Amino acid sequence: AQKVTQAQTEISVVEKEDVTLDCVYETRDTTYYLFWYKQPPSGELVFLIRRNSFDEQNEISGRYSWNFQKSTSSFNFTITASQVVDSAVYFCALSEMTTDSWGKLQFGAGTQVVVTP
């Protein structure tokens, strides 16, 4: 069975601080996908990144960066120089590695990020 754990329920930071969101996963599959989604206060889910289990290279996109470590089953997400607009719930998710499964996701419970001016 697959499981995703986001142990941090809520993180509060002051604007311009960095914030790291932890994600630990469990799966029996040797190949899989990992995702991060953002849910702003308006409620919709916004796709941020997909990573496949073959690729442990870290990724940076603007102020966002992701650290994937297969050895520790972790896929952590860092927001650098946080802004008020980063306030949202962030979900880590896992899926099987098939072409049909990018939407069939096992979600973590989410981490609420609160950025204050």
Partner 1 sequence: NAGVTQTPKFRILKIGQSMTLQCTQDMNHNYMYWYRQDPGMGLKLIYYSVGAGITDKGEVPNGYNVSRSTTEDFPLRLELAAPSQTSVYFCAGNSRNTEAFFGQGTRLTVV
Chain positions contacting partner 1, by CB under 8 A:
4, 6, 9, 35, 43-45, 47, 50, 91, 93, 99-100, 102-105, 107-110
The least CB distance from residue 15 to partner 1, in Å, is 25
Cα dist. 98→30, 35, 39 in Å? 12, 14, 25
- For the CB of residue 18, give the shortest distance to partner 1 in the complex, in Å: 24
In whole angstroms, what is the distance from residue 113 CA to residue 92 CA?
13
Q: Is-contact 96 104, C-beta < 8 A? A: yes
Return the number of the residue (86 or 90) whose C-beta is nearest partner 1: 90
For partner 1, the closer of residues 13 and 48 by Cβ is 48
Structure token pair of residue 110: 């989410």
